[in-house]
Amino acid sequence: MNRAIFFDKDGVINSDKGISGNFEPVELYPEIAVLMAEFRIRGYRIFVVTNQPVVARGLMSEAELEEYLGKFEKLILEKNSGAIIDKIYYCPHHPNANIEKYRVRCECRKPRPGMILKAAEEFALNLNESFMIGDRISDIISGSLAGCKTVHFLSGMHMEKTIETDLKIEKEISPDYKITDLNELREIIR
């Protein structure tokens, strides 16, 4: 299994309720656990790559975020025992962070591809055979820069331009696929 599917978290795996220090309760999209399990059977590793500026803004500590993400993984497994996530990568940074140590230029904050590249290194992944699924153009840019095929989930949220970044993008990047229903992934990812 050296190919992977990278899922953005908020807005793709679960409904996005905006930034707050309270992550409970999580509303998973009903089909997500089944899809993750099916893609594992098809030979894909499953990863989550998520910007989590709640840490940079001081709304939650990294320890609290990691505890939450552990519960999040458990919730997905409760929905389908085959929906195993190989690893969740998160970026706690933000260019306008309230907490100085998180106000850095990092390579992990999407639209930069750092989280995907780190997963590829740690798990010996073939990114050309992998997919990035996101609901923001920032997710699409990140996946494209890493060499993945990209799927833009048009959830109706996050139709704005890319999130704040100092990344210079030379040309416009478009998704390889656009979907309005997560079940459409079955036809794209074989």
The model's pLDDT over 24-69, given as tens digits with 9 standing for 90+, comes to 668 899 999 999 999 999 999 999 999 999 999 999 999 999 999 9
With 80 as the cut, is the pLDDT of residue 158 above it?
no
The stretch 153-181 carries a mean pLDDT of: 73
Give residues with Cβ within 8 angstroms of 76, minimum separation 6: 13, 28, 32, 33, 36, 83, 85
Average pLDDT value over all residues in the chain: 90
The CATH number of the domain where 102 resides is what?
A: 3.40.50.1000
* Domain with 9 in it: 3-188
* Number of domains into which the chain is organized: 1
